[in-house]
């Protein structure tokens, strides 16, 4: 699957007020803005045309644009975030994705779902059950995906103590390869995939972005970088320190399609 576009939103002045369990200290807003700009440049280097949304002080977590929507080739699917403070972000994303998609679906209450719990692997989707995505939200998404010709499987991470969203703990590298944290690497949903295990010391780097001919990885994790490079991919390492403080990772900061 080749991507041509992405939606991004720089961090707002209220960024440090967002949800986090990282216990890594308060983020430096100016440094976060520099890191975000570098991230956007990396997306452009990978061949993407970016749509920039204005920072939104009303929603401190709104720089993590991946959570309010799931974008597929055939349809955009608006989510219903499990974090109540993020519900208002969906309408803003809806007005943007509707410019690019004729078909816009929606996950509705009592279902909850956040995009960080959804990982696409070619024509298959892994759906994570988490503290933010409940069984009803997963069921609705699976039904929508099936209507558009996709298959899906469920991965329950609710007892995984170090995994907030599914993509906190795994990413799809392509060519049938999944890179996953030890805590979820043995899940039956990965039975037909080659699983590359991420040691606990490098668990943050389990979240990366394969975009066309490049793989964007979090800087400072040489083991994961070497593994990805070993499969023949050109990597782009990026400093994610300020977003990590807010439970954020590489995939969270864009909606790619």
CB 90 within 8 A of CB 81: yes
CB 114 within 8 A of CB 138: no
Sign for the CA dihedral angle at 95, 96, 99, 103 comes to negative
CA distance 221 to 181: 13
- Which residues make beta-bridge pairs with 101? none
CA distance 113 to 129: 9
What is the Cα Rg of the chain in Å? 17
Sign for the CA dihedral angle at 149, 153, 157, 163 comes to negative
Instruction: Spot the catalytic one: 40, 46, 119, 252.
Output: 252
Residue 201 buriedness (CB in 10 A; 0-12 / 13-18 / 19+): exposed
Residue 29 buriedness (CB in 10 A; 0-12 / 13-18 / 19+): middle
Is 165 in the active site?
yes
Quote the tokens at residue 13.
């002045």
Instruction: Spot the catalytic one: 40, 165, 214, 233.
Output: 165
Query: Which distant-in-sequence residues (6+ apart) come within 8 Å of 137 by Cβ?
Result: 79, 80, 82, 107, 111, 112, 113
What residues act catalytically? 165, 252
């Amino acid at each position: 699957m080749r991507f041509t576009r992405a939606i991004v939103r720089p961090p707002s002045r209220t960024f440090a007020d967002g949800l986090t369990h990282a216990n890594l200290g308060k983020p430096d807003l100016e440094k976060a803005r520099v890191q975000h700009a570098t991230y956007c440049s990396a997306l452009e280097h990978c061949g993407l045309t970016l749509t920039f949304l204005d920072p939104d002080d009303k929603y401190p977590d709104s720089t993590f644009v991946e959570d309010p929507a799931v974008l597929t080739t055939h349809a955009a699917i608006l989510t219903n975030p499990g974090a109540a403070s993020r519900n208002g972000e969906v309408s803003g994303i809806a007005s943007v994705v509707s410019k690019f998609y004729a078909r816009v679906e929606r996950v509705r209450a009592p279902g909850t779902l956040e995009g960080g719990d959804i990982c696409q692997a070619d024509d298959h989707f892994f759906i994570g059950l988490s503290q933010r995505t409940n069984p009803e939200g997963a069921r609705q998404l699976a039904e929508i995906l099936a209507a558009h010709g996709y298959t899906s499987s469920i991965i329950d991470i609710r007892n995984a103590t170090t995994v907030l969203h599914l993509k906190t703990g795994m990413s799809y590298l392509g060519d049938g390869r999944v890179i996953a944290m030890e805590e979820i690497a043995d899940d039956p949903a990965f039975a037909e995939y080659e699983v590359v295990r991420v040691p606990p010391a490098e668990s943050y780097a389990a979240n990366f972005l394969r975009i066309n001919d490049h793989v964007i990885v979090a800087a400072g994790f040489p083991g994961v970088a070497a593994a990805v490079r070993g499969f023949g991919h050109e990597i782009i390492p990026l400093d994610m320190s300020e977003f990590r403080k807010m439970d954020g990772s590489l995939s969270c900061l864009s909606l790619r399609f």
